Each structure stands twice: as C-alpha cells, then as structure tokens.
Structure 1
Amino acid sequence: MKFHRGVKQILSKYILESIQRKMMGTLLLVMMVPMLIFMLISTYISRGTVESSEISSNLSRMELSKSYLEEQFHSYNDLLFAELVDERLVPSITTENNISSTGAFNTQTYIKDKLFGLYNGDDDIISVTLISYEDDRLYQVENNDFFINHYFQTQIKNTEKTAIFDVNTSNHSFTFARNIFRFEDQKLVGKIEIQVSFSLIDHIATNLQSNGEEEILLLDKEGNTVYTLNSMKLRKNISEEILSSSMKANDTNYITKDNDYYFYQNLMGGQIQLVKLVPEEVMRVGAIYIGRTGIIILLISILLTILLSILVSNQVAKPIVSLSRKMDQVGENNFNVQIETRRTDEIGHLQRKYKEMITRIKDLIEKDYKREMENRDAQFLALQSQINPHFLFNTLQVISGMALKNKAKDIYEMTQKLAFMFRYITDKRGDLVRMKEEVNHLNNYLYIQKVRFGENLSIQLFVDGAVKEGLIPLLTLQPIIENSFKHGFESKLEKAELKIDIQMVFDEIEIAIIDNGVGMSEQILAEVREKLIFDTDTQHRSIGLRNVNNRIKLYFGKEYGIEIDSEQSDFTKVIVRIPYRNGSELSEHFINRR
C-alpha cells in the first residue's frame, strides 16, 4: 500500500499536474510500443543465415579472382618464354668483339625493336630489361626511351630455368624474369625481365568490390601493402595475422578483427596475398530490410501520434498553435501583438513570459539602435582623421622637391628614400615580391639609418646576382634588420657593424644578418627560439621575427624559416632560409608586376 501511494503521488506531482508531461507520456507510449516490436523483430531476423551466406559469396568471388589473377600473372611469364625461343636473341647478347660496326648497329636495333615490342604489348608494363653477362651490358626500355648501360655484376647469378617472380614494394609493381641459356652449351649468357604495375588488377578489384565501403588490397610476403584500390593500408598487426592464418592447414580463408571481415587468397605460391576487407555493416546487409520494416512501423507510429494530437488539440494544442502564430508575427517585426495571459497552467506561464520577453526585446532594440547611430558617428569622425598613404607619399615628394630647390641635398635624399619606402609598403602587390625589389626597399631603409648613425655605423651588404629574380615574402628583411637597430645598437657605445649576406646555396636562398650589438643572454635567446618554434608569448625581440617566420612557413613549408644565434655583449646572427622560386614563372596572383 505504501508503495502504491508513493507511485500515485509521484504520478500526480510530476505527470498528471503537468499538461506537457501528460502529452509527452501519451506520445511516448504510442511510440514505444511499435519500437519494442521493431526491436524484437530485428533481433529475431538478425539471427540466421545472413552472415553465413555473405561469407560464402565472398569466398567464392575471392577464389574466382585468384584464378583470374594468377592467369594474368602467368601470361607475362608466357611472354618471356616466347622470347627465349627466338633464334636471334642469344646471338644478339653474346660478345660483339668480332662484329663489325654495321653488325653491332643492326644487333642493337634488333634488341631495341624486340624490347619495344614487349613494352608496347601491354599498358601495364613499366619497363623491359635485357642483360648480357658476356659483354656486361644492360638494355632497357622505360618511359618510352631505350637505354644501354654498363652492367655491374654485384651478386651471384640465379641459374634457375624457371620463371623468377618478385614483388617491388617501393613502386607497387612486380617483376617476371627468365635466364637466357645458349643453345649449344647451355651456358648462362643473360637475363630478360619485365616490370609490371599492379594497376593491371584495377578492373578485377573493381568487380570484386561489391560495395563502396569495401577495400581491396594486395600484400607481399612481409605484410606490406603493394596495391590498394582506395589508397588504404592495413595496420601491421592485421597484416601479420592474415599472413599467419594463410599458413595454417584447412584454412577458412577469412578472419574477423574488430567486427570487420578480412577475406584472403594466396597468389604466386604465397608471395602475395589478395585481401578483401568487408566492414561489419556491409556484411549484415539484412539490416537494410529490418530498417525498412522499422520505417513502416515508425510511419504507423507517426500516424497514430497525429491522430492522438488531433484528439487532444482542443484541450491542449489550440492555445499553443495560437501562441505560435503570435510568434510568427513577432518574427516579422510586429511587436504590437496581443497575447492572452488568463490561463494558470504551463501554457499560461509561457504566454506571460513570452509577453515579458517581447517587452524587453523592444527596449533592447531601441537601446541598440541608439548605440549603433552613435558608433556610426564615431566611425565617421575616425575616418575623417585618417591620413591617406598616397597623400603622404605625394607630400614627401613635394618636400623633397623643395629641398632640392633650396640645395638641401641631404634632406632631398632622406625624403626621397622615405617616400620610396612608403610607396613600397602601401602599393597594392601580391604576397610575394622579387628579391631585387626587397633589396631596393632595404637599401632605402639602410640609407636612413646610415644618416641617423653617421660614422658610428658600418654596413656591408652583399647580394648574389643569382638570387635577384627569386621570390621572397613582402617586408621580410626590414623587420629583422630593424631588430638590430632597436635592440642591438641603441645602447651600444662603440661603432655598430651590420653585415648582410644574401646568396644562393644549392637550390635555396640563404640570408645571413649579423650585427655586433649587445646580443642576448642564453635565457633570452632560449625564449626567442621557443617563440619561433611554439608561438608562445615573450617580451623580447621576437614579434617581428615571429611574423616573418610564420609567413615564410606559410608560403614555402615548415622546413624553411628563421634560425637565430647570439652571445651577450658580442653578436646576434639571424639566418633566413627560403627555396629559390623564379618570379618570372609565377602568375600575377603571387608577384608584383609593374
């Protein structure tokens, strides 16, 4: 009795007194009944022959694919065997010491035609090679080119008379080779070999793949992936497990791992394995039919829910629909809607709160509108106070003209250099500029600093002529060198020395900037280096360096950028490495064309 009363109290307090919970309970009841039926049916149907039939089907298809693939592989062996019975092949690769120049040319022409015949006989053949052991020559056709090279015998010759099959993991191909023996004395005189891409099985793999989520692969005898249809590689532990299973007697030719199925077949005496990965969801295709049944049940449930909603709409849903329409009107910026608030249940509470919310929204809109108008006025005043960079450039030009007119050559030179710097910075250009433009800008900057420091500053600038057309991010050099003046020379009493060396090193541009400034302590140097690597905050000379370093890595890759070394009271050295990219070869999107 106590339990019964406790349940009744809970139902009365949390369900019966709330119209929202009453509707929720009723609708959930209608939905849960068919869902329970669906779960029972799906559980029953899932048990059965779906999995076994799929396994049997995949095993049969794998066996057929194995037979066809081995037939394809052996067809290349037949091609080589056909060449061994060519009566002119053996004489053509024996020593040519006693053959005339014309005869040697005809022999090479015959070998060339023979190899090209094999090479062009199949689109999947990568190369054809003929080796002569007597005259140590290697004849090869590859990429539609014919090569003759000296052959260095670095290993003991294989004297087998059968075909030699090998897998090349590095370029996803395999080779068939046959030794060539002289008819008269059966002496080993050479070898002929063809290299074939595993792409020859593309159409077989496509036919074997019955679903887009399945994967087709070939593994070598070490478990490495040598071919994949969808650029997928097996994990090492799975590859090893497949190889281990393939060596067992009475093998089932499939394993399961992480609920996925791996079907396999040994090819070419176990030197390669054909593997098909079938995900669990693909294997249990019967779930599709279960899903259709579930959809039907869900549709019935939805229909029952609609009918139930119609029955209770007069008591519950009607005020909600009315409130929804009021919300639509508010959504169209009509804040003068009339909302009834006479109800005392949850819907009445919702109506009252929504009316209060509309009132607050109206107040907020009025306040935001006033604030926006004030912001616009402030922005207009700020725009009025901005200085146009081109106006500043033109003004500097006028000042330099006045200085020249009054024979103040130093002032003229200074304003000219400053004007050119402003033009370089403010001109619209691409992200990358030619090195010679960056160096011209740097010369203008160094001129101003030279005038500033006078005889207390020595500058050495060397630019390798080979780098002038190379590309560099805009404003790379000035921020780095500006650090030397800002941090290195400001408190230095003796003569300041700055050395800038820009030269080509192999296929890269290396920029070395060395100053004899105050340098950095080991702690500060470590902080700056950490900033360049991990982009962490620091108070020392790295804001400009970090910006330049990040831009270099963005444009050219993470292997390029800035290196820095320093000793306190001695020197600071900054090395910038970027790849050489010729500016004349890039589009207008990347460089400035003026």
Structure 2
Amino acid sequence: MIVSGKIKHFVNKYFLESMQRKLMATLLLVMMVPLLIFMLVSTHISRGAVQTSEITSNLSRMELSQSYIEEQLTWFDNFLFSALVDEKLVPSITTIDNITTTNSFNIQSYIQDKLFALYNANENILSVSLTSYGDKRSYKVERREFFVTNMIGTALQRNGKDSMFSVNSTTGTFTFSRNIYRFEDQKLVGRIDLNVSFDFIAHIAENLRSNEEESIMLVDSNGKLLFALDENNEAAPNDLSANFKQQHETNYFSLNQDYYFFQEMMDEQIALVKVVPEEVMLIGSKHIRQTGLLILIISICVTVILSIIISNQVAKPIVLLSKKMELVEETNFNVKIDSKRTDEIGILQRKFKEMIDRIRDLIEKDYKREMENRDAQFLALQSQINPHFLYNTLQVISGMALKKGAREIYEMIQSLGGMFRYITNKRGDLVFVWEEVQHLQNYLYIQKVRFGKNISIELFVDEQVKDAIIPLLSLQPIIENSFKHGFETQIEKGILKIDIQKVFDEIEIIIEDNGMGMSEEVLQQVKRKLSTDSYLYNRSIGLKNVDTRIKLYFGREYGVEIMSQQAEFTKVMIRLPFQEGSEYKNDDIASC
C-alpha cells in the first residue's frame, strides 16, 4: 500500500498535474505505439522470411553436396569394376591341379601387384582384398603390407554381378565388393573388396559449412556417426534415424533448438547431415532486428525531441501563463506577458494581460479613493468634538469656578487647550508615542477631575516605545468608551489600567477597565464589525476607526482585539509593529 501510494503520488505530481508532461507523454504514446507495433510485426515477418530463405539455401547446398558425394562413390565403384576387366585375374584365382611352384609364385606376385595397384590409386583406400573360393585363400593389401591367409571353413558367398555397398560403423568406413565369375561357365570363383575411408568427403563438407558453429556429419541408417568434420562431434543424437523417416519429404527437422538438414544416399544406408544452431540459422534476422532496434532508438530520440519541441510550443506558454497567474494571485500586478502569438494561446495571453491592466487600474482607483476617504475621515475626526464631553467639562469648570480658586480652573483650561491643539494642529496621521501619551494625560486629567475619587487610573509607558510611531488618536477613542459605556452608570469605584510596552518587535497596548462590560451577543457584534473588510464611514471615532487605520498603515496582521464579560471587565489590546520615527520615512509623521 505504501509503495502504491508513493507511485500514485509520483504520477500525480510529475505527470497528471503537469500539462506539459501529459502532452509530452501523449505525443510519445501516439508516435511510439505504431512504431513499436510496426517494429514487432516487421521483426516477426523478417524472422520468418530469413528462416525460409536459410532453409531453402541449405537444402540446395545439401542436394549439391549429395551429388558430389555420389559422384565420388560412383568413381570408387567404377574403379573397382575396371579391376575386373583383366584376363589374368580369373585364371590366377582358379584352382589348377598340376600347378607348379614356379607358377604359384608367379600367380601370387601378379595378385600382389594387382592389389597394390588398386591400393595406391587413391589415398582414401584403406585396404584391397581378393578372395579365391577355389583354393580358399584370401589376399589383402593393408597399411602397405601384403597378406595371404587360408580360409577356415566355407566362405560366405553372395551372388550377383552388381556391386555391393556396405558400411562399417565401428571403423567409419565403407566397402565396395564385386563378385568374380569365370567367363566360360559363369561360375562364381571369387570376390574383390575395396575398403575406403569417408575422409574423402572432407573437402565437400568444408565447402558445405558456411559458419564455424555449423556441424557436418555422415551417419549410417541407424544414425551412428561415420564421419564428422569437427573432432568435437564425437556422437550423433540417438533419434536421428527416426526423424529421417518422419521428415523424409522435407529433408530437415528441428531438434533441441538446432536445425538438421539431411540427404540420404546409397539406398538410405548413409546420410549426409548438416546441423545449424538456431542462432546461426536466424543470424540474418538478428542483424535485421539489431538494425531495426537502432532505427527504433533513433526514432525514439527524434520523437522525444519533437515531443519536447511541440509540448514547449503548446504547453510551455500555458505553464508560464499559469505561473503569471500565481504571481497575480499574490497581488503582484507588474508581470510581463509576451502576447506575440496569433493563435488561441496568444488570444488567451492578450486577454489575461488586458484583465491584469484593468484590475491594476481598478485597484489604483480604489486605493486613491480609499486614501481620499481616509483623509476625509481624519479631517472629520480632527474637527469633531464630542458635545456631551464638552458639556460635562464646562459643567465641571463652572462648578469649580464657584467653589475653588483660579489655579484649578487654569489647570483644567490648560489640559483642554492642549487637547484642542493636539487634535487640530497635526498635519499627518502618524505621531510619536510620547505625543499620543501626552495628549492622553491631558484627557485623563480632565476625566479624573470629573469623576474624582470614583475613578482610579494606572498608566504605564515603556521607555523603549516613546520614540516609536502610532496613528493619531489611537488611544483616546478607546479610553473614552471606557468612561462612556463602562463607568457612567457604575456605582462602584472604576479602575482603568493602561499598559504600553514593547514585546519583541511589536508594541502591545492593553486598556482594561472594570466597568459594565458587554454581553456575549454584543461582543460578537463588535468582533464582526472589526473583521469586516469594508470601512463604513460614520461619525464614530471608536474601535473600528482605530483598527482600520492601523491596518492601513501597518498591515492586516495588526490591529485591535477586544475581550469582555458582562458586569466584570472589558479589555482591549492594540498591536502594531515597533517602528521608530527616524526609520519610518514618511511625511505622515507630524512635526513636533
């Protein structure tokens, strides 16, 4: 299962998910399958054609070799017959009662000369023998020696004037025999035998063999080996004779992956056999197969090159276009697209380029519109003064004027004046943290005077963040919500904690009060409003306004988070990157 899963993953990743590779594989299949089928069919046909041609050629050569061998055998037969045409031969072996010693010596000398003449006529003649039935003697020349022996018993006689052919499987020789008849009464008086070695066919066998791996043999009717061109062929298969009978009409058969061609001679007493290994028999088809394989490899290389070229022409532009789309998906609209093609792919490229240009124009227009809206919102924010806050502040100032001296009234007016100056005099939307904290302290002084002992304020500012930048009026709107929604209707003493510090490479501001809190339903409504991408302009300067401006300047990963529990607490956390004013090269930083 694991292996099949890996294979499936590999196929999906490198083939199914790649249009270029799928097109290349399809082209290879379309071009290679017919080529492979043609290669297999042509190889099969060529194998059959070569086999037929080789069989025909070997049969023809075997017939020609048979003719040569039979001519040689006929020569030995005629040579033996010529020995009989001698008027002295018959009297020399006919018994004469009054033969003298001198005559006996002359007769024996004649027979010896006659037999030596026959023996020396051909180097393949092993022995020549003359048998006299009258005086029961046998004369023989063998190994250049002359032997005379007396026969014991009656010699075996076979009648007939034709030559007699016999094979000796043990010695690998053949013998031609002819009877000798007395002319006067046609009485059988003797026999002459010519024993010959089969080595005379060596040159015929050598011409018959066309490959060193082929074997040439001469066997008898029982399949026993009489002659072999190679010394390694010491024996012939046992079932040769049976195959001779079965394949008598075709003169060849296949045995043990070898082809056997044969020609029977001398009334099927001997047979010339040629053994051709199958690999030699089909060597022509092997060359054809190798040539075809070479052509196939070249065709595969050409096909691969063509498929790469075609797939690049068709699929590569689409693959490049998909990569351009991925870049556009990552909000990179400055991609360059080559649209010089005039086919459907070129049309697709041009349409996509037009679409990107339109999207870029729309984004630029929307961005400019959003920036204009932001500036308008900020200008509106700068010009806003909460009437309810001003009313309460004036009530406090008037009450103090009645009860206390001018010093307190002075401090109250100073704080209020500092707030007005901070809001109205800033020309940008980014300020230093210390400026925002200073403004916040003026605001908290007024609120503390207003609520008196009913409010406790704890403010902590990390020294590391004072020179960092923050959007204008990011803290007051949130703290104002604490007084407006958390403390106004609360009977118990209110506690407001403000913690501003650096956490790693971020500024984390936590504003927490123990006011009325929010129900779960109201809390979820506030969170949904914060997560909304669009900015709906209204006269509120609360959470959504602060969150939107932080995201506009620093990215969507920053902003405002809120947590609350009804009748317990409300906690607001503001996250923004730590960036010092000297590092932030922007005209939005207000001048001090």
TM-score range, shorter chain: 0.3 to 0.5
TM-score, reference length from structure 2: 0.44
